[in-house]
């Protein structure tokens, strides 16, 4: 098969559009899609101080590569990569190493912040405590809530005006389906808010890779000689997300385009909903001062339940 | 296990609420849920002329039994059961027989209308034609569109002010998920409109069983000595709905309450969306005069593609 753009040998074929691309044109198409996403949804300003949340997984490394390239055109803009060390035994070490290595390679400043240092406990310790106390939360709940808070706190210290995360199309479709299956409409609506609303004390989070399927990011990483680490997080296999990931992958194979359909349905619904959204009043967490709609922010609430605050 | 209401031997246990019920209290609970749904969503007026869409499947037979009972309290209201004979070989005959038998038993007037007589072709003939012409639609598309039109046309002739269908909680959750996976937000929104909007020439459709899981309807049917016919529609196994049904059943087993979560998420979203919904302008189909947003109604459009109009 030949590349539809330049006639070279194609390495990529898109079932939905019928487009075949060679390695070079495929990589360019991904980069253009990221640029398009940034422009279309107004993710970055010309003078943004962008914090890249880089776990060291392929998605975040690809994001770092592409955004570093784009931001070279914007000298007033700055980039800093941040890796959170949650403290997950036999897992996080590899990610930290890769994040550091590629930040150097792509010429991006890099910082590491750990749960242990900031909260006083690693994720593994927190999860153990939660088991002891028979709390119903999944490890991913603690990990996500505490990671997001740490990014926001450190982002403010670093003067960041945007936090970019490497969520891809699969992540977005999974999250939407997960919230629908859980009946969590509020969180579904909040997904959009985080991107477009200015809340004092809360750095806007943007997702420049949101339109790119996970499989295409993997191919892009491969052609960029980015090392993939095939170790999965030890907690991920027990999660609802993992179950939904498997269902969606089977479903997408049978019905190509299904993931994008879920994503775009939700975008359309969100846009319609955004029109008459009531402004939520934000307070400051009485423990840590972070913005929250309640007395305590979710992170302090979880730590309090564990008796760690 | 004992019934939580009367102390008799329980035959039903609800995993989510932890409630156990005996046969009599279980049946009463289903009937009360139907009454509650009718009241809560304002499905019927005291003087409605209700057309019950009765296929002969257990759901529609249970609906007929319960609604006939409820409507005895409203002497100004009338009931008529209508069965559509789509003309599906080796399948529809059994449903027709059961619909007729139970309409008589529950004292409800009963009419049968056929695709063959109204459209000139049975569903089997239409599906054959679609195969010949290599049209992309699924048999369920023809069946659904043509059945709904026939019900609306005949309903108007009969003076019906409401059409009640026996869609249960599983049907609703499947439909929502199906439309999300297909990215069909318009149809998702229309689901709500059909219930609450008055469109000239279009009889409002209501779903009194929408809160009852399929499994509970099956149990109710069993205790009501309603015959179940275990023959599936020959077309159903090829459908997207069937695939989603299987996924949802597996998912519900692992996460009790998931079907209701999907349903209630969507209700909440719909209510928020309904607030700023733009009124759609309805025209009349240039072939048949039925209400439509386009030149042709969907039924006439499908028949025209087939060269049958």
pLDDT of residue A254: 84
User: What gap in Å lies between CA A156 and CA A151, rounded to an integer?
Assistant: 8
Q: What is the pLDDT of residue A276?
A: 60
pLDDT in tens, B51-64: 999 999 999 999 99
Most confident of the ranges A242-246, B67-71, B231-235: B67-71
The structure's pTM equals 0.82
Measuring CA to CA, which residue among B229, B225, B233 is closest to residue B94? Answer: B229
Could you give the C-alpha distances from B18 to B4, B36, B168, B250, in angstroms and in order? 10, 20, 21, 20
Domains by residue range for chain A, with CATH: 1-40 (no CATH), 42-275 (3.40.50.620)
Between A106 and B180, the higher pLDDT residue: A106
Q: Is the pLDDT of residue B180 over 80?
A: yes
Q: Calculate what percentage of chain A has a pLDDT beyond 90.
A: 71
**CA-CA distance, A267 to B142, in Å (whole number)?**
30
- Contacts B265 to A, Cβ<8 Å: 179-180, 183-185, 188
| Res A23: pLDDT | 97
pLDDT digits (tens, 9 = 90+) for A158-170: 999 999 999 999 9
Least Cα distance to B125 among A35, B10, B117, A16 occurs for B117
pLDDT band at residue A278 using 50, 70 and 90 as cut-offs:
low
Whether B65 has a pLDDT exceeding 80, the answer reads yes
Instruction: Inform me whether the pLDDT recorded for A195 exceeds 80.
Output: no
Summary mean pLDDT of chain B: 91
Of B44 and B254, which is predicted with more confidence? B44
Contact criterion met (CB below 8 Å) for B203 and B156: yes
Q: A170-174, A206-210, A254-258: which has the minimum mean pLDDT?
A: A254-258
Residues of A near B (CB-CB distance < 8 A)? 176-177, 179-185, 188, 240, 243, 247, 251, 254-255, 257-258, 260-262, 264-266, 268-269, 272-273, 275-276
Residues whose CB falls within 8 Å of the CB of residue A76, separated by 6 or more in sequence, listed in order:
A46, A47
Contact at CB, A180 and B180, closer than 8 angstroms? yes
Q: Do A261 and B177 touch (CB under 8 A)?
A: no
Chain B residues touching A261 at Cβ < 8 A:
180-183
Interface size A-B, in CB pairs within 8 Å, comes to 73
Per the CB < 8 Å rule, is A265 touching B179? yes
pLDDT score for B278: 62
- What local confidence, expressed as pLDDT, does residue B285 receive? 96
Residue B221 DSSP SS3: helix
Tell me which chain B residues have a C-beta less than 8 angstroms from the C-beta of A252. none
CB contact under 8 A, B255 and A180: no
Contacts with B251 from chain A: Cβ below 8 Å: 181, 243, 247
Q: What local confidence, expressed as pLDDT, does residue B184 receive?
A: 80
- Asked if the Cβ–Cβ distance from B273 to A275 is below 8 Å, we say no
Average pLDDT, chain A: 91
Chain A residues close to B181, C-beta within 8 Å:
251, 255, 258, 261-262
Handedness of CA A44, A49, A55, A57 (dihedral sign): positive
- Chain B residues contacting A, CB < 8 Å? 176-177, 179-185, 188, 240, 243, 247, 251, 254-255, 257-258, 260-262, 264-266, 268-269, 272-273, 275-276
Could you tell me the maximum CA-CA distance found in chain B, to the nearest angstrom? 63
Q: Tens digit of pLDDT for each residue in B279-290?
A: 678 899 999 999
Lookup: tokens for A298: 């979710």
pLDDT beyond 80 at A193: no
B195-252 residue pLDDT tens? 656 788 999 999 999 999 999 999 999 999 999 877 888 887 767 788 889 889 988 9
Q: Which segment of A11-20, A192-201, A252-261, B113-122 scores lowest on mean pLDDT?
A: A192-201
Q: Please write down the long-range contacts of B265-268, taking CB distance under 8 Å and 24 or more positions apart.
A: B265/A179, B265/A180, B265/A183, B265/A184, B265/A185, B265/A188, B266/A180, B266/B172, B266/B176, B266/B188, B266/B191, B268/A185
Chain B residues in contact with A258 by the CB 8 A cut-off are 181-182
- The percentage of residues in chain A with a pLDDT greater than 70, rounded to a whole number, is 95
Contact B270, B192 (CB under 8 A): yes
Specify the pLDDT at position B271: 76
Taking the alpha carbons at both ends of chain B, their separation in whole angstroms is: 61
Which residues of chain B have a CB within 8 Å of the CB of A273? 269, 272-273
Q: Which one has a higher pLDDT value, A200 or A121?
A: A121
Q: List the single residue in B181, B243, B265 with the smallest CB-CB distance to A262.
A: B181
Share of chain B above pLDDT 90, in %: 71
Are B265 and A183 within 8 A, CB to CB?
yes
**Integer Cα distance of A208 and A46 in angstroms:** 15
The set of long-range contacts for B139-144, using a CB threshold of 8 Å and a minimum separation of 24, is: B139/B235, B139/B238, B140/B235, B140/B236, B140/B239, B140/B241, B141/B302, B142/B302, B143/B86, B143/B88, B143/B235
Q: Which helix (H) or strand (E) holds B49?
A: strand B49-53
- Model confidence band, residue A179 (pLDDT cutoffs 50, 70, 90): confident
Among A58-62, A184-188, B194-198, B252-256, name the one with the lowest average pLDDT: B194-198
Residue range B42-57: average pLDDT?
Answer: 96
Give the model's pLDDT for residue B192: 59
Picking from A99-113, B139-153, B194-208, which range would have the lowest pLDDT averaged per residue?
B194-208
Q: Residues near B20 by Cβ (< 8 Å), separated by ≥ 6?
A: B1, B2, B3, B4, B10, B12, B13, B14
């Amino acid at each position: 098969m030949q590349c539809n753009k330049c006639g070279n040998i194609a390495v990529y074929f898109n079932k939905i559009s019928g487009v075949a691309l060679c390695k070079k044109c495929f990589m360019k198409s991904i980069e253009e899609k990221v640029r398009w996403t940034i422009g279309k949804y107004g993710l970055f300003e010309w003078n943004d101080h962008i914090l890249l949340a880089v776990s060291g997984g392929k998605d975040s490394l690809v994001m770092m590569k592409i955004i570093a390239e784009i931001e070279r055109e914007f000298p007033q803009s700055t980039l800093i990569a941040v890796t959170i060390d949650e403290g997950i035994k036999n897992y996080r070490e590899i990610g930290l190493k890769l994040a550091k290595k590629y930040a150097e390679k792509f010429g991006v400043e890099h910082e590491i912040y750990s749960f242990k240092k900031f909260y006083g406990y690693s994720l593994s310790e927190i999860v153990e405590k939660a088991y002891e106390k028979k709390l119903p939360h999944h490890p991913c709940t603690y990990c996500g809530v505490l990671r997001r808070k740490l990014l926001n706190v450190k982002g403010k210290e670093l003067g960041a005006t945007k936090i970019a995360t490497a969520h891809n199309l699969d992540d977005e479709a999974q999250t939407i389906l997960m919230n629908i299956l859980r009946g969590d409409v509020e969180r579904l609506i909040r997904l959009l808010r985080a991107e477009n609303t200015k809340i004092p004390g809360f750095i806007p989070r943007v997702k420049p890779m949101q339109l790119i399927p996970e499989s295409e990011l993997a191919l892009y990483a491969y052609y960029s000689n980015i090392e993939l680490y095939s170790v999965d997080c030890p907690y991920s296999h027990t999660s609802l997300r993992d179950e939904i990931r498997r269902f969606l992958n089977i479903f997408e194979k049978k019905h190509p385009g299904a993931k994008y359909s879920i994503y775009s349905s939700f975008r359309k619904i969100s846009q319609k909903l955004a029109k008459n959204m009531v402004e939520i009043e934000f307070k400051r967490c009485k423990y840590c001062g972070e913005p929250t709609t309640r007395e305590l922010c979710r992170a302090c609430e979880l730590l309090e339940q564990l008796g760690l605050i």
